[in-house]
């Protein structure tokens, strides 16, 4: 009887805990469902301070006590000298923006906010560095993104773009706007071309006795269709439109980099950074890290980022996803050990 009593008490406690957990989760989910989408906010962080902390930590680890004392004295002298210098003349600033583009160039909304924030405070002696990564995407999206970067140049502020991995097609449309374009030696650069493709299910529909109707007003309101029967006239018009966009693309790139042989590079091909430099697509072989370090500590360096504040539901979703991912990866690692 004593065993049954203890067992019943254990079950009661377990049920109580489960019910309490369910109530808490239900309350959180209910609150999250009522919460509106969080608004965006600007995040400005000092890269100079980060580099200073890294340098200081490395010296503390690597230097002995005598060397550290000597270093401390030197730093005091430098601090006094800097204070006097700051009173007489302020340092110029390097603002750093990250743009990791997707196919629809949706990131341009954040880029707009970041550029606007910088233009509100930047002076002619300052500079903007954009760390750009994109394989391209829709024409209108990347056209707008390039226009956002053009705003920086129009204000007379130096614009440098660094490509560590890839700037192709629409990505290169953005990159060529820069006053100075640098790339790592194996970054993919170029792809000055236009691509359009779509499937056609007309034969499949006919095979299954399915009729498709499409009515348009205007001879070329629709050139090619996914479900209708395409003809040579529509294909020719579609090709003509692509060629027109390609000409606009070439003219834009040539206007930004007039010394480059545009006909030689506007073939849709892409090249690694070292070859791209030979062709005039980039100005210098270096990484974004190299470029930032070359301006430290002469300049104050800041990262500028526009971020969207996530609501409770999104945070819970991300947390749950990360937990599932960790469990999955642990399972994969265990599976690997069997081979």
Local structure of residue 134 (DSSP, 8 states): B
Contact of 235 with 241, CB cutoff 8 Å: no
| d(C-alpha 142, C-alpha 177), whole Å | 12
Residues 194, 240: Cα–Cα separation, whole Å: 12
The C-alpha atoms of residue 219 and residue 228 are separated, in whole angstroms, by: 15
Which CA distances in Å does 17 have to 6, 20, 224? 17, 5, 61
Per annotation, catalytic residue among 48, 169, 184, 303 = 169
- What secondary structure does DSSP assign to 223-251, as a single string? SS-SSS---HHHHHHHHHHHHHHHHHHHH
Residue 17: which H helix or E strand, with range?
Answer: helix 2-34
Choose, from 65, 77, 207, 221, the residue flagged as catalytic: 221
Q: How far is CA 175 from CA 56, 72, 134, 163, 313, in A?
A: 35, 43, 10, 8, 37
Report the b/e string of 117-145 with b at 16+ CB within 10 A.
Answer: bbeeebeeebbbbbbbbbbbbebebbbbb
Pairing of strands 300-308, 40-46: antiparallel
Catalytic site residue 239? Answer: no
Cβ(171)–Cβ(134) below 8 Å: yes
Collect all residues with Cβ–Cβ distance below 8 Å to 249 and sequence separation of at least 6.
Answer: 173, 192, 193, 194, 266
Exposed/middle/buried for residue 33 (C-beta within 10 Å: 0-12, 13-18, 19+)? exposed
Q: Please report where in the chains the tokens 């430099």 appear, as a residue.
A: 277
Per the annotation, the verdict on 169 as an active-site residue is yes
Q: Which residues carry out catalysis?
A: 169, 221
């Amino acid at each position: 009887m004593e065993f049954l009593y203890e067992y019943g008490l254990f079950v009661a406690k377990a049920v109580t805990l489960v019910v309490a957990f369910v109530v808490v989760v239900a309350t959180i989910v209910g609150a999250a469902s009522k919460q509106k989408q969080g608004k965006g906010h600007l995040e400005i962080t000092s890269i100079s301070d980060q580099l200073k902390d890294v340098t200081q930590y490395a010296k503390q680890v690597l230097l002995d006590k005598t060397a550290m004392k000597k270093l401390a004295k030197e730093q005091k002298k430098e601090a006094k000298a800097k204070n006097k210098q700051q009173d007489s003349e302020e340092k110029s600033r390097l603002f750093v923006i990250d743009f990791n583009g997707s196919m629809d160039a949706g990131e341009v909304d954040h880029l707009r906010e970041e550029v606007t924030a910088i233009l509100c405070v930047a002076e002619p002696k300052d500079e903007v560095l954009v760390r750009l990564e994109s394989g391209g995407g829709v024409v209108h999206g990347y056209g707008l993104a390039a226009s956002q970067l053009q705003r920086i140049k129009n204000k007379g502020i130096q614009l440098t773009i660094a490509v560590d991995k890839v700037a192709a097609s629409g990505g290169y449309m953005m990159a060529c706007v820069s006053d100075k374009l640098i790339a790592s030696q194996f970054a993919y650069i170029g792809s000055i071309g236009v691509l359009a493709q779509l499937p056609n299910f007309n034969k499949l529909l006919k095979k299954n006795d399915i009729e498709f109707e499409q009515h348009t007003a205007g001879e070329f309101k629709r050139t090619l269709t996914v479900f209708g029967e395409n003809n040579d006239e529509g294909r020719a018009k579609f090709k003509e439109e692509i060629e027109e966009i390609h000409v606009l693309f070439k003219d834009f790139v040539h206007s930004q980099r007039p010394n480059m042989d545009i006909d030689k590079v506007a073939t849709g091909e892409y090249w690694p950074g070292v070859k791209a430099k030979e062709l005039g697509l980039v100005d210098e072989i270096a990484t974004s890290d190299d470029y930032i370090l070359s301006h430290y500590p002469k300049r104050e360096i800041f990262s500028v980022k526009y971020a969207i504040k996530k609501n409770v539901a999104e945070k819970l979703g991300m947390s749950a996803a990360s937990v599932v991912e960790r469990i999955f990866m642990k399972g994969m690692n265990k599976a690997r050990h069997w081979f």
